[in-house]
Amino acid sequence: MEIIVGIDVSNDRLDVHVLPSGEALSVENDHAGVEDLVRRLTALSPAVVGLETTGSFERLAVAALAGAGQATVVVNPVRV
């Protein structure tokens, strides 16, 4: 079964939801938090990770996830 991850992005934190398990977690939107997120998601091997574009608050996470080989898409929050 494919694992899909959605991330709600804000200045201070990343709220993560994993389907189909329903697992939810939050990490700080800083280097340490994003490193923790990458480690956790690498262990899950999701098919795709989707993040909303939020005027640059998503950049650190997108760069780290893509750098770790995660299939990462940035979506317009109006369309989600």
- Region 47-67: what's the mean pLDDT? 95
Q: Which residue has the higher pLDDT, 78 or 46?
A: 46
Q: Which residue has the higher pLDDT, 80 or 48?
A: 48
Q: How confident is the model over 65-78, as pLDDT tens digits?
A: 999 999 999 999 88
* pLDDT recorded at residue 54: 87
- Region 14-27: what's the mean pLDDT? 97
The bridge status of strand 24-28 relative to strand 72-75 is unpaired
The bridge status of strand 13-19 relative to strand 4-9 is antiparallel
| Three-state secondary structure call for residue 38 | helix
